[in-house]
């Protein structure tokens, strides 16, 4: 017997594929998270199946083979790697079985959580995946600008930024123009060496009055901070 142009076997195979189909409708991963603005974030892998039945959900981090989270219908959830001690295991949106494993609430946010998150859903041998990238950035804990007079028109200028992520750019300007021949140094800091400290120093030859600006930029985060000091005479106010 033929259904249209399909044989019975092909028709049954097609029907089986449809019934076993799984589809990720939407993967919700915040693109940008500022430390200090929020205390928790939620990842949501919104997937659909044609009918109820056993399935498994895995979350992968930065294309590594070992899941950072795994849930299936037959065993308790397993948490590994970057999510250990950062996942709220008591959080559930509803009692629906399809919320299990698909919605994760992350706490204890820090820059180590920055990276690519992949949701992988498997049902009856069919696997679908989606990936999104998240940047958890840290604005400066400190931004200090020091200007010392060497002579009537000569100054030592130093700007220091501490506790930022990702890698910053620290630029010195005088009256909104880049100061030439400045030296920038950047190094890792923090307990896990995940943050950055930076400094820029230069010697400035300038006629008074004028404004010295230190411009801190985290280009990946679209973030900028300024520190300014005004020179009135050979002494700073």
Give tens-digit pLDDT for 115-139. 999 999 988 888 899 999 999 999 9
pLDDT of residue 14: 39
Query: What gap in Å lies between CA 99 and CA 104, rounded to an integer?
Result: 9
Q: Across the chain, what does the average pLDDT equal?
A: 85
Of all residues in the chain, the percent with pLDDT exceeding 90 is 59
pLDDT, tens only, 155-190: 999 999 999 999 999 999 999 999 989 999 999 997
Inter-CA distances, 34 with 26, 53, 186, Å: 23, 39, 21
Both tokens of 151, joined, read: 């002579």
pTM above 0.85, yes or no: no
Which range, of 10-24, 57-71, 167-181, averages the lowest pLDDT?
Answer: 10-24
Q: Fold identical between 23-137 and 142-231?
A: yes
Helix or strand run (H / E) with residue 14: helix 8-19
> DSSP readout, 15-44?
HHHHHT-EEEEEEE--SEEEBTTBSEEEEE
* Percent of the chain surpassing pLDDT 70: 84
With beta carbons less than 8 A apart as the criterion, state whether 173 and 215 touch.
yes
Instruction: Give 23-137's CATH code, choosing from 3.40.50.720, 3.40.1520.20, 3.20.10.10, 2.60.40.10.
Output: 2.60.40.10
Nearest Cα to Cα of residue 129 among 140, 142, 116: 116
Which of the pair, 117 or 72, is modelled with greater confidence? 117
Tokens of 215: 């411009």
- In this structure, what are the phi and psi dihedrals at residue 214, rounded to the nearest 5 degrees? -105, 125
Supply the pLDDT for residue 233.
61
Helices (H) and strands (E) in the chain, counts: 1, 19
For the chain, which residues make up each domain, given as ranges?
23-137, 142-231
109 versus 209: the higher-pLDDT residue is 109
- Whether residue 77 contacts residue 137, with contact meaning beta carbons closer than 8 Å, is answered with no
Reported as a pLDDT band with limits 50, 70 and 90, residue 22 is: confident
Which tokens belong to 165? 């992520």
Give me 53's structure tokens.
């039945």
142-231: CATH, from 3.40.50.20, 3.40.1550.20, 3.40.50.300, 2.60.40.10: 2.60.40.10
Of the ranges 84-88, 91-95, 202-206, 224-228, which one carries the lowest mean pLDDT score?
A: 91-95
């Amino acid at each position: 017997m033929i259904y249209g142009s399909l044989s019975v076997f092909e028709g049954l195979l097609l029907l089986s594929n449809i019934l076993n189909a799984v589809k990720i409708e939407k993967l919700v991963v915040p693109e940008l998270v500022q430390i200090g603005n929020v205390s928790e974030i939620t990842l949501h892998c919104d997937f659909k199946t044609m009918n109820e039945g056993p399935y498994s959900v895995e979350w992968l981090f930065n294309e590594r083979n070992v899941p950072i989270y795994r849930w299936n219908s037959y065993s308790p959830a397993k948490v590994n790697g970057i999510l250990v001690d950062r996942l709220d295991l008591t959080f559930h949106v509803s009692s629906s079985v399809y919320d299990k494993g698909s919605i994760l609430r992350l706490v204890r946010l820090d820059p180590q959580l920055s990276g690519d998150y992949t949701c992988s859903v498997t049902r009856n041998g069919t696997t679908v995946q989606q990936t999104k990238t998240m940047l958890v950035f840290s604005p400066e804990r400190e931004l200090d600008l020091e200007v010392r007079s060497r002579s009537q028109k000569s100054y030592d200028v130093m700007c220091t930024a501490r506790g930022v992520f990702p890698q910053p750019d620290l630029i010195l300007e005088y009256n909104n123009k880049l100061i030439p021949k400045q030296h920038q140094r950047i190094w890792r800091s923090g307990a896990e060496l995940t943050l950055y400290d930076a400094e820029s120093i230069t010697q400035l030859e300038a006629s008074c009055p004028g404004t010295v600006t230190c411009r801190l930029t985290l280009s990946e985060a679209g973030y900028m901070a300024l520190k300014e000091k005004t020179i009135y005479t050979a002494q700073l106010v």
